[in-house]
Chain A
């Protein structure tokens, strides 16, 4: 059996310096990056024969619906579960995302993304969970449009690729703008449309988007992020005009 060589960028804790280690794992058909990392757990020995602590990474569903296992694989941001070894050039390099603080090894802290969901009130303001009958009637094609956007799993690929989004600025980024569009498109969500638009009109908001359009290229769920950005751009322009007269 041949071996796969993995070069992995490691870091012991936030703020400490990073270092590289090389591992060799047996090649198996249809192996993905996660199964390679699992092999390292079973035998945490580097290529030079040194026994080390196993590499730390985030993962859960292993079928690209949970959003956990985002990392840089051969320099490209993506989910590690769908990264099949046979489709990757060897040696394979693994690095943590660079736009979020490293927790340890390949694990990063994406709390900022979840905080942004609060900022833009990415939810429907229902009256309560008691039984008050059916939801609003909706055309299936409108539903389908929302469905594509609602598949966003907060993985962070779009933000890692975005030149405007840095580790220490306040830019909200494509995934957040997409959520604003998702909820503004819902008949009930629309009632709080202005609050969401106001939240993306300040510093770090929609006007900071540099239009690089790389977000949409790296989205594992093929969400039309640039369409969402353009749409929120239009919605905020109208909102700004409206604010001129009403506020």
Chain B
């Protein structure tokens, strides 16, 4: 149909956006990468510990199928199974590709890729480059994209912000509204497809492990334009971060993967130097409660246990909300080689050397399993048809999402070292489908009347003109922190409906006060104030999606923990009993005597709960509020069952 190269706009220069840009250029497409800042500086650089692939380098019998099962179980069965399975099967090729691009992955004695342990699995499945794996992967992809820029097939628009999609009269996305952050100019770009690879929304909580740019504004704008937003309430709280004022800095799960141990003194308020406390007086609470996975239980489990130790058992170090993460039994050389990046971060920000003194850490908001609802095209083998134009498309035709901005790979809780994988996987996987999508278009972007673009541009221009005239009494940065405080106090590790309702009303107050915001800076050059106010508006709406989703979901699944709805799995329960039970039920003869006391009741309750809640939460923007509905999850490959890690 078209006599020109296919052209797409990729918003975001992190792993997902760069991977897609590279692949699309290789397929002879034309890509414009739009980034809020210089490429190379995206939040993907903050990922530390590694990237998963079942290469089985240590002859443990690991397979992609086991990786798939661990990921599905880790996500409490809420993820769409064919997608996760496809990702896990692609993972080894992805690692080899990144290695060929020059990523300095740690090696074995024979010079092959080395792997280490991570949470939620018993296998050495995580390839790593010291403790700055994300940075190294971003650089490798950035270099490949720079090569395509050099060759003329890719363009970059750095210091430009995505404001919204250009939708034609049929609601098909035909381009993007772009804001030049230096000149303040607002204009539109035409394209065959637009991809949001804009990362997560950690800034909704104001203080998290996320970078400054992670406001979730681009994804929220898509929601405000009619796209579905899915599983918003599933926010990952990482168990180990350094408390701080501007940011809660991550201490990678790889610290525990390499042997780090979590403990507190057995007696409350023990103020002794931790190294003077003998083994017998230390409480290694994860190791005691989870003898199989020990310190490497999945993140949702570890964060809940740390919360319980600090707030219910009052055993936080010196009475403060902190526990020890201890690596002092490892040699300096070992730590510098395998964890140097995080050793430096801890030393620089606390003034204490973690090679000598146990680190003090506490959980922090880290990742959003939820994001823009995206589609996929399954094939007949329980994998994905990589040519399907449905892959990664949002509910707005022609608008796609990838990486943390989408929702479907991690269910209710993400396993460590799977995020880098899902970002690169989605970016690479979707390229062919987008090509096919552009082929299937009846009308090309050139056939769309220019008024569509002009009208969208003037809508955003007048919106920003309006923001610049805001001259109320509220400081937008203070309001942002107040919003973050509401979310941190009420929508975190332990959730209850009373607090969630309180949060819902408090967000309403913030929304009302937003109208009285002052635009602090009215310059027309390199002025971030109007953009920030627009982002704050988006964060208010996103906090409503998260809070309402959490309020309505009356169950305990993965990172969404509501103690009032905890079914209290019996201590001696074995998940295989549930499979037996389902089989017996299928043949109409459940043998009550076969199950230990209380187990059958628990399993019936579990089954009933799944019927109601094993569903994707879908939020849609209606009358200024998120309207919540639920969709079926594809569980066609593995039977959902109770999780257990001890």
The interface of chain A, by Cβ under 8 A from chain B, is 12-13, 28, 30-32, 34-35, 38, 41-44, 53-54, 56, 58-68, 81-82, 84, 103-104, 107, 110-111, 114, 117-118, 121-126, 128-129, 131-140, 143-144, 146-147, 150-151, 153-154, 183, 186, 188-189
Question: Chain A contacts of B349 at CB under 8 A?
Answer: 30, 32, 63, 82, 84
| B348 x A82 contact (CB < 8 A) | yes
* Partner of B111 from A56, A111, A126, A139 at Cβ < 8 Å: A139
A60's partner among B101, B107, B110, B211 (CB-CB below 8 A) is: B211
A-B residue pairs, 3 tightest by C-beta: A135-B99, A123-B143, A147-B104
Cross-chain contact B111 with A137 (CB below 8 angstroms): yes
Enumerate chain B residues within 8 angstroms of A151, measured Cβ to Cβ: 132, 135, 341
Contact B212 A59 (CB under 8 A): yes
Residues on B with C-beta less than 8 A from A131 are 93, 96-97
Q: In the complex, what residues of A have CB within 8 A of residue B521's CB?
A: 53-54
The interface centre, meaning the residue of B40, B104, B108, B110 with most chain A CB atoms within 10 A of its CB, is: B104
Interface of A is mostly: loop
Contact A53 B520 (CB under 8 A): yes
Given A32-B246, A62-B249, A135 and B96 contact (CB-CB distance below 8 Å): yes
Chain A hits for B144, CB < 8 A: 123, 126, 129
- From A30, A54, A56, A59, give the contact of B245 (CB < 8 A): A30
User: Quick one: given A82-B349, A133-B96, are A67 and B41 in contact (CB under 8 Å)?
Assistant: yes
Chain B's closest residue to A31 (CB) is B245
Q: Is the CB of A129 within 8 A of B26?
A: yes
Check B477 against A41 for contact (C-beta < 8 Å).
yes
Interface size on B, residues (CB 8 A): 74
Instruction: Say yes or no: B526 contacts A60, CB within 8 Å.
Output: no
**Chain A residues closer than 8 Å to B139, beta-carbon distance:** 150
Mind listing 9 A-B residue pairs with CB under 8 Å?
Answer: A28-B245, A32-B349, A35-B245, A63-B46, A103-B526, A104-B523, A118-B146, A118-B149, A143-B106
Once the chains are docked, how many angstroms separate the CA of A107 from the CA of B525?
Answer: 12
- Taking CB atoms, residues of chain A closer than 8 Å to B348 are 64, 82
Task: Check B106 against A153 for contact (C-beta < 8 Å).
Answer: no
Nearest A residue (CB) for B110: A137
Contacting pair B249 A63 (CB below 8 A):
yes
Chain B, range 117-169, C-beta contacts under 8 Å to A: 129-130, 132, 135-136, 139-140, 143-144, 146-147, 149-150
Additional 18 contacts, C-beta under 8 A, given A60-B213, A138-B111, A143-B107:
A28-B245, A30-B350, A42-B475, A42-B481, A58-B37, A61-B46, A62-B212, A62-B249, A65-B132, A110-B38, A118-B146, A123-B101, A126-B97, A129-B23, A129-B428, A131-B93, A134-B100, A135-B99
Q: CA A122 – CA B102 in complex, angstroms? A: 11
Q: Which of chain A's residues have a CB closer than 8 A to the CB of B136?
A: 147, 150
Residues of A near B399 (CB, < 8 A) are none
Q: What is the CA–CA distance of A180 and B110 in the complex, to the nearest angstrom? A: 27
A140 to B473, CA, bound (A): 59
- Which residue in A54, A81, A129 is a CB contact (below 8 Å) of B529? A54
Known A67-B40, A117-B146; contact A140-B475, beta-carbon cutoff 8 A: no
Closest Cβ of chain A: how far from B123's Cβ, in Å?
19
B41 and A138 contact, CB distance less than 8 A: no
Q: A125-B147, A129-B97 are in contact. Are A66 and B526 (CB under 8 A)?
A: no
Query: Which residues of chain B are near A53, meaning CB under 8 Å?
Result: 520-523, 527, 529
Q: Is the CB of A104 within 8 A of B520?
A: no
The answer to whether A189 and B102 touch (CB under 8 A), given A138-B111, A144-B337, is yes
Q: In the complex the two chains form, is B526's CB within 8 Å of A13's CB?
A: yes
Q: Which residues of A contact B26 (CB under 8 A)?
A: 128-129
Q: Could you tell me the distance between the alpha carbons of A66 and B100 in the complex, rounded to whole angstroms?
A: 23
**Cβ-based interface call for B105 (8 A):** yes
Establish whether residues B528 and A56, one from each chain, have CB atoms under 8 Å apart when the complex forms: yes
Contact of A65 among B96, B114, B135, B246 (CB under 8 A): B135
Given that A54-B529, A147-B129 are contacting pairs, would A188 and B102 also be in contact in the complex, using a CB cutoff of 8 Å? yes
Q: Is there an interface contact between A188 and B100, defined as CB atoms closer than 8 Å? A: yes
